[in-house]
Structure 1
Amino acid sequence: MTDEQGRPPGVLDDLVRRLVNETGITEAQAAELVIFLGRNWASLLREARILAGKR
């Protein structure tokens, strides 16, 4: 089984989990960022930190 881009599901799950652990945003917020931004870690981290600062 793969996601819509042909990657195994665990790849995105791990990315979401890492983003949640490193920034403190919710899992839903992290998943939405991954959907919008893709897997670019620098962009994900920047946007997650912005979201975390608004909490």
Structure 2
Amino acid sequence: MGDDQPSRERLKEAQAKVLAEETGITEAQASDLIEMIGTDRASLLREARILKKRQTPPKS
């Protein structure tokens, strides 16, 4: 069996990119969320949206 670490890392990067594009957070933030939460899509979307709301200044 070969080491699939590089492919896992590429998968994580791809997931982070898609999550960032979909929610408006940075890829670094998305990557951090994936590290903390795992790959559950619903949980990632929920937390990314919460994070984005906290970043967005209130409208006047």
| TM interval, short-chain normalised | 0.7 to 0.9
Match of 1:53 in 2: 53
Unpaired stretches in structure 1, ≥5 consecutive residues: none
Give the match for residue 2 of structure 1. Answer: 5
5+ residue gaps, structure 2, are 56-60
Larger Cα-atom Rg = 2
Scaled by the length of structure 1, the TM-score of the pair is 0.84
State the identity as a percent: 43
What TM-score do the two structures reach when normalised by structure 2?
Answer: 0.77
Larger helix percent: 2
CA distance in 1, matches of 2:31, 2:38: 10
Which aligned segments of 4 or more residues in structure 1 are displaced greater than 3 angstroms?
none
